[in-house]
């Protein structure tokens, strides 16, 4: 009976560890994708800003 209980406990611990590793990998991927999109946005920003916010005002 003790042998079964110890293996059940090991299985539960390994299951929890696997779930935590999966969650951690998903979080890393989400953060990495957010970083990629943010860097792409920063790269496009200089080409957009002179036409919008940084353009000198013209008076007509």
- Classify 23 as helix, strand or coil: helix
Q: Give pLDDT, residue 10.
A: 81
Q: Give pLDDT, residue 52.
A: 61
- pTM above threshold 0.75: no
List of the chain residues with pLDDT < 50: 1
Q: Give pLDDT, residue 32.
A: 94
Q: Give pLDDT, residue 46.
A: 75
Q: Give pLDDT, residue 47.
A: 76
Q: Give pLDDT, residue 29.
A: 93
Furthest CA-CA distance within the chain = 91
């Amino acid at each position: 009976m003790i042998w079964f209980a110890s293996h059940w406990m090991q299985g539960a611990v390994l299951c929890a560890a696997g779930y935590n590793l999966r969650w951690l990998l998903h979080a890393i991927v989400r953060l990495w994708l957010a970083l990629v999109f943010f860097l792409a946005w920063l790269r496009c920003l200089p080409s957009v800003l002179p036409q919008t916010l940084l353009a000198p005002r013209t008076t007509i």
